[in-house]
């Protein structure tokens, strides 16, 4: 009986193989599940294990909160953790590791991303996520945050985004911010962030040959707005800043009414030579040789 059943199974197997070869000339196969489907199921299982502390082999401590995790998942998402657990650092032998410079909410979001494969980036969490992904060397998430900020650039926020980008050496974001600052100077200077520029930052801004303005009056008004924001402290910078304003290009009537009559300027004797230069240009024209009489772009 056993021998008969064995022979029958062999016969059926050979028959199926022979029939497939006759039909298509090659062996037929079937995929059980595509890679992404299987990967999602594995991640879902690992996420359940994380939330129930099953098979976890390390606990991250963030601001006093414990986060049980799997070293393999952390390492597959972050080269920071890969170096920590796979090298010769003391942390590779520890089961409890405290992580600094990341907030508990941001760490929770990062772990959801690591175990779930997706997250929502918005204006409330983008800065914290970028800082955390930069620290943990999560390049894909970092790049996504940078892209989000690039898409949010506006005259009202480009100064702050430029400073943030410079602090993290994000060259492309910094350059795009500066480009908007230069091309939209009149609108940028109307927003509060402009007034937060340091003196050196403002000098660099106004010195840029790519600064685009419709009228030189826009540059003068921006400088005076910046100075008057904190006149007691900033008046000492007035001459240095007015040197970057092309006073000879101002409308003569505007110069007489708005510049010469300005009380802050009248109280700064160091600026008188600049006023005299502008007056001479109105009288003598191009006979006065000064870089400040050269039109901007």
Cα separation, 295 vs 52, in Å, equals 69
pLDDT band at 18 (very low <50, low <70, confident <90, very high): low
> Is 140:147 a contact under the CB 8 Å cutoff?
no
- Please give the domain boundaries of the chain with CATH numbers for all domains: 154-184 (no CATH), 197-297 (1.25.40.420)
Which pLDDT score is estimated for 88?
80
Percentage with pLDDT > 90 across the chain: 76
Which pLDDT score is estimated for 90?
84
| Angle at alpha carbon of residue 232, lines to 258 and 221, rounded to 5° | 25
Cβ-based neighbour number of residue 158 at 10 Å: 25
Q: Is residue 12 scored above 60 in pLDDT?
A: no
pLDDT tens for each residue of 161-219: 999 999 999 999 999 999 999 999 999 999 999 999 999 999 999 999 999 999 999 99
Percentage with pLDDT > 70 across the chain: 86
Which pLDDT score is estimated for 31?
60
Which pLDDT score is estimated for 9?
41
pLDDT tens for each residue of 41-55: 888 999 999 999 999
Distance of CA 294 to the CA centre of its chain: 36
Which pLDDT score is estimated for 22?
55
pLDDT tens for each residue of 50-85: 999 999 999 999 999 999 999 999 999 999 999 999
177-185: long-range contacts, CB 8 A cutoff, minimum separation 24: 177/153, 180/153, 180/154, 180/155, 181/205, 182/208, 182/210, 182/211, 182/212, 183/212, 184/155, 184/158, 184/212, 185/211, 185/212, 185/213, 185/218, 185/219, 185/222
Q: Is residue 100 scored above 50 in pLDDT?
A: yes
Which pLDDT score is estimated for 7?
47
Task: Please provide residue 67's backbone torsions phi and psi, each rounded to the nearest 5 degrees.
Answer: -130, 95
Tell me the average pLDDT across 216-224: 98
pLDDT band at 122 (very low <50, low <70, confident <90, very high): very high
Q: Is residue 142 scored above 90 in pLDDT?
A: yes
Segment (H or E) for 67:
strand 65-69
Which pLDDT score is estimated for 44?
92
Tell me the average pLDDT across 100-121: 95
Cβ-Cβ contacts under 8 Å for 236 (sequence gap 6 or more): none
Cβ-Cβ contacts under 8 Å for 137 (sequence gap 6 or more): 78, 79, 80
Which pLDDT score is estimated for 5?
44
pLDDT band at 26 (very low <50, low <70, confident <90, very high): low
pLDDT tens for each residue of 31-40: 655 557 778 8
pLDDT band at 290 (very low <50, low <70, confident <90, very high): low
The secondary structure of 226-292 as a DSSP string is: HHHHTHHHHGGGHHHHHTTS-GGGS-HHHIIIIITT-HHHHT-GGGHHHHHHHHHHHHHGGGS--GG
Tell me the average pLDDT across 244-249: 94
Q: Is residue 154 scored above 70 in pLDDT?
A: yes
Segment (H or E) for 169:
none
């Amino acid at each position: 009986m056993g021998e008969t059943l064995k022979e029958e199974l062999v016969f059926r197997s050979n028959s199926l193989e022979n029939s497939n070869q006759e039909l298509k000339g090659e062996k037929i196969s079937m995929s059980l599940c595509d890679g992404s489907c299987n990967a999602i199921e594995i991640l879902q299982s690992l996420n359940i294990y994380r939330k129930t502390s099953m098979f976890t082999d390390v606990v991250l401590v963030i601001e006093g909160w414990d986060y049980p995790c799997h070293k393999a998942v952390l390492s597959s998402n972050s080269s920071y953790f890969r170096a920590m657990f796979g090298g010769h650092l003391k942390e590779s032998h520890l089961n409890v590791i405290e992580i600094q410079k990341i907030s508990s909410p941001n760490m929770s979001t990062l772990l959801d991303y690591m175990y779930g494969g997706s997250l929502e980036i918005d204006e409330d969490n983008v800065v914290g996520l970028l800082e955390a992904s930069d620290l943990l060397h999560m390049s894909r998430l970092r790049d996504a945050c940078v892209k989000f900020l690039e898409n949010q650039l506006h005259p009202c926020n480009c100064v702050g985004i430029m400073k943030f980008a410079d602090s993290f050496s994000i060259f492309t974001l910094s350059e795009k911010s500066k480009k908007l600052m230069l091309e939209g100077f009149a609108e940028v200077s109307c927003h509060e962030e402009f007034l937060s520029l340091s003196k050196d930052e403002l000098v660099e801004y106004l010195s840029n040959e790519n600064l685009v303005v419709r009228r030189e009056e826009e540059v003068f008004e921006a400088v005076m707005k910046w100075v008057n924001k904190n006149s007691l402290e900033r008046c000492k910078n007035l001459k240095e800043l007015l040197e970057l304003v092309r006073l000879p290009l101002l409308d003569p009537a505007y110069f007489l009414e708005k510049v010469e009559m300005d009380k802050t300027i009248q109280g700064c004797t160091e600026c008188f030579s600049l006023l005299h230069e502008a007056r001479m240009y109105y009288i003598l024209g191009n006979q006065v040789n000064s870089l400040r009489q050269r039109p901007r772009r």
